């Protein structure tokens, strides 16, 4: 008939009628029969306005159920009034209604009489509704729910962290990041996200771990919308994209730059041929919304590491799939003291000509990119190891290596199934890293699924002066009985980890980022640290100033509908102007260089 298959159904078991779900797009197809199909089949039509969507939904001789997936209550209220259906739900499934519900369907779906025995006594209009102001996916999806990317919304180490965006919103843009997908459509709280990150920074700084701030990016990012063909004033561009292509507005409003572990890959001066600190910006080309970050990230890093005698900031690799680079999230450094040469472990998910790769989710990092970054960073070839991540764990939601492993000095804390050919890799590290210690978490104690849901390994491993280590964890680890039991056993075992520090980072976690995602580790000598822009270093004064800044500019509630509001754009730009001056960065954002800001 001309429909386009978005998700093909398949038979789960021969000799049965068990099918996985199927999705067919019917937009533009003429003469579609008005028939009910009793099976897991969904037909999709695209529309321009909500009124048109309601007309399309009502254009049927059936009318059992309909529903709205949206954060906007006003649209659901309109649907309740205008829908021709016996069940009208908001952010809830359309199947499995209770037998006591006062519905009978409309039209050929039923007899338009309440099926519940006493419903006629309390029901004037036979319609039932289940309502929720946010959408929460089940922890485990039904078999067959594997979507292509377009369906998922295009469907002495110093720690550098980025404050969350004032318009941090729109989870669910990142296929392969299960936490992000699971929390798609939920209302976000940018103010709380920023406050949680700042509190973690200040707590660690007070504990003796130097912290510094990397500023957020401009969002929504208007220059990219103009590249996509939307013209006019900034206000007109926002109005057009919200009306014509709202998925682009979601992408250019993403808060993903807050995860600075993906900003760049770092090579300390002790590891480089020229004795300088090298930083190579990540291209993040596996996801459109993340691929927008590199140019501004480069400007920010050059404003922070502005002493060219000590630091070299390299531009991102070319934006091609062969050179997919995700930054420090796929990089570990192992060795003794921070000022001594270390072994750099680059982790990739795929390489050209190698059929060992994931099948469900994309492998974002390529070996070719890792090799190029090592060359750009002038890492001594004797201090590099390239290792492949286990493709099976990528297919379970381990989209970066820092979701399954974390390192510090001589310790590698990882899951038993983290790497392909893990036994050989650990043997290689033992031979090349003095005092190397691998802490492998058995799958019998913590499954990969539990590691992903709690972000056990997306943690920070930090050294104290006495050689002991602190493990910084998200609150989800403490709330999971099995993971917390393992962690307490770890404390009692013979290893350097002597303290667990737990933080509430729920806003970041809901987007798929834990403690490790929120920091970019930069190993510096004392002389190099003094050469860093001093205005970005965390202290009492900066902490108080940033909290005041967040209170002034960050909203405590943000929905998809807010992204088209020109006032949000103005608020964001004003906030970045003020922050640029506070951190002594100069004009680092495109709107400032075009004359629209004060920085």
Binding-site residues for substrate, please?
171-180, 262, 289-290, 364, 402, 511
Which of 421-429's residues contact partners 24+ apart within 8 Å by CB, and which partners? 421/387, 421/388, 422/390, 425/385, 425/387, 428/385, 429/334, 429/343, 429/345, 429/385
Is cis: bond before 334, omega within 30 of 0?
no
Distance CA(143)–CA(21), nearest Å, equals 8
DSSP β-ladder status, 87-90 and 331-334: unpaired
Q: How far apart are CA 323 and CA 450, in angstroms?
A: 31
Q: Hey, is 436 helix, strand or coil? A: coil
Residues in the chain: 599
Whether the Cβ atoms of residue 356 and residue 388 lie closer than 8 Å to each other: yes
Provide the token pair at 462.
């930090």
Residues 92 and 103: their CA atoms lie apart, in Å, by 16
With vertex at residue 519, the alpha carbon angle to CA 521 and CA 204, rounded to the nearest 5 degrees, is 90
Q: Tokens standing for 15?
A: 């000799």
**CA distance to 1, 23, 25, 35, 555, per residue, from 31 (Å):** 8, 19, 14, 12, 48
User: CA nearest 259: which of 173, 341, 333?
Assistant: 173
Specify whether the CB–CB gap between 559 and 187 falls below 8 A: yes
> Residue 397 and residue 392: Cα distance in Å, rounded?
9
Q: Report whether 218 contacts 254 (CB < 8 A).
A: no
User: Which contiguous run of DSSP H or E holds residue 407?
Assistant: strand 405-408
- Best CA proximity match to 238, nearest among 563, 574, 586, 570: 563
Residues 212 and 532 sit within 8 Å (Cβ to Cβ): yes
- How far is the C-alpha of 334 from the C-alpha of 435, rounded, in Å? 10
Q: 434: how many CB neighbours lie within 10 A of its CB? A: 11
Evaluate whether 440 touches 413 at the Cβ level (below 8 Å): no
Residues assigned a catalytic role: 326, 400, 517
Which pair of structure tokens corresponds to residue 67? 């529903």
Nearest to 305 by CA among 283, 278, 272, 269: 278
Phi and psi (nearest 5°) for 56?
Answer: -65, -40
Are 219 and 254 a contacting pair, CB within 8 Å? yes
**DSSP string over 268-289:** -GGGBTTSSEEEEE---TTSHH
Across 482-518, where does the E strand assignment appear?
A: 497-503
CA pair distance 259, 290, nearest whole angstrom:
10
**Cis status, amide bond into 220, omega within 30 of 0:** yes
């Amino acid at each position: 008939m001309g429909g386009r298959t978005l998700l093909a159904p398949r038979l789960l078991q021969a000799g049965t009628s068990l099918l996985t779900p199927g999705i067919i797009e019917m937009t533009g197809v003429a003469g579609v029969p008005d028939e009910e199909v009793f099976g897991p089949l969904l037909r999709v039509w695209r529309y321009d306005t909500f009124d048109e969507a309601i007309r399309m939904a009502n254009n049927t001789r059936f009318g059992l159920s309909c529903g709205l997936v949206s954060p906007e209550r006003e649209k659901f209220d309109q649907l309740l009034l205008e829908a021709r259906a016996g069940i009208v739900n908001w952010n809830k499934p359309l199947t499995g209604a209770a037998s006591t519900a006062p519905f009978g369907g409309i039209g050929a779906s039923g007899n338009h009489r309440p099926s519940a025995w006493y419903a006629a006594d309390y029901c004037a209009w036979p319609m039932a509704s289940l309502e929720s102001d946010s959408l929460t996916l089940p922890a485990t999806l039904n078999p067959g729910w594997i979507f292509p990317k377009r369906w998922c919304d295009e469907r002495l180490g110093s720690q550098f962290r980025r404050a969350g965006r004032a318009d941090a919103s729109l989870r669910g843009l990142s296929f392969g990041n299960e936490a992000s997908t699971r929390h798609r459509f939920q209302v976000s709280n940018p103010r709380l996200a920023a406050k949680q990150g700042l509190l973690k920074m200040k707590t660690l700084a007070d504990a003796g771990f130097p912290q510094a701030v990397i500023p957020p990016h401009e969002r929504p990012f208007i220059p990219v919308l103009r590249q996509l063909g939307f013209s006019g004033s900034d206000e007109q561009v926002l109005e057009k994209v919200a009306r014509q292509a709202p998925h682009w507005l979601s992408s250019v409003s993403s808060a993903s730059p807050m995860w600075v572990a993906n900003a760049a890959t770092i090579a300390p001066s002790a590891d480089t041929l020229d004795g300088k600190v090298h930083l190579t910006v990540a291209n993040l080309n596996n996801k459109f919304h993340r691929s927008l970050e590199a140019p501004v990230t480069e400007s920010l890093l050059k404003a922070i590491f502005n002493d060219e005698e000590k630091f070299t900031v390299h531009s991102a690799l070319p934006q091609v799939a062969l050179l997919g680079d995700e930054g420090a999230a796929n990089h570990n450094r192992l060795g003794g003291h921070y000022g001594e040469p270390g072994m750099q472990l680059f982790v990739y998910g795929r390489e050209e000509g190698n059929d060992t790769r994931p099948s469900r989710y994309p492998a974002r990092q390529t070996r070719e990119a890792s090799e190029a970054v090592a060359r750009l960073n002038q890492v001594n070839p004797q201090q590099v190891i390239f290792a492949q991540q286990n493709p099976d764990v990528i297919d379970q939601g381990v989209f970066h290596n820092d979701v399954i492993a974390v390192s510090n000095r001589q310790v590698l804390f990882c899951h038993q199934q983290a790497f392909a050919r893990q036994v050989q890799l650990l043997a290689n590290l033992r031979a090349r890293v003095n005092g190397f210690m691998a802490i492998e978490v058995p799958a019998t104690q913590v499954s990969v699924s539990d590691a992903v849901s709690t972000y056990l390994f997306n943690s920070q491993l930090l050294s104290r002066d006495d050689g002991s280590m602190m493990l910084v964890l998200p609150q989800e680890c403490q709330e999971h009985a099995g993971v917390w039991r393992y962690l307490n056993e770890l404390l009692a075992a013979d290893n350097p980890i002597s303290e667990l520090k737990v933080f509430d980072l729920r806003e970041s976690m809901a987007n798929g980022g834990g403690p490790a995602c929120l920091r970019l580790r930069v190993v510096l000598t004392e002389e190099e640290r003094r050469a860093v822009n001093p205005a970005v270093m965390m202290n009492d004064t900066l902490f108080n100033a940033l909290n005041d800044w967040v209170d002034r500019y960050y909203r405590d509630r943000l929905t998809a509908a807010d992204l088209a509001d020109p006032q949000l754009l103005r608020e964001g730009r004003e906030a970045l102007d003020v922050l640029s001056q506070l951190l002594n960065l100069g004009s680092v954002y495109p709107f400032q260089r075009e004359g629209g800001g004060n920085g």
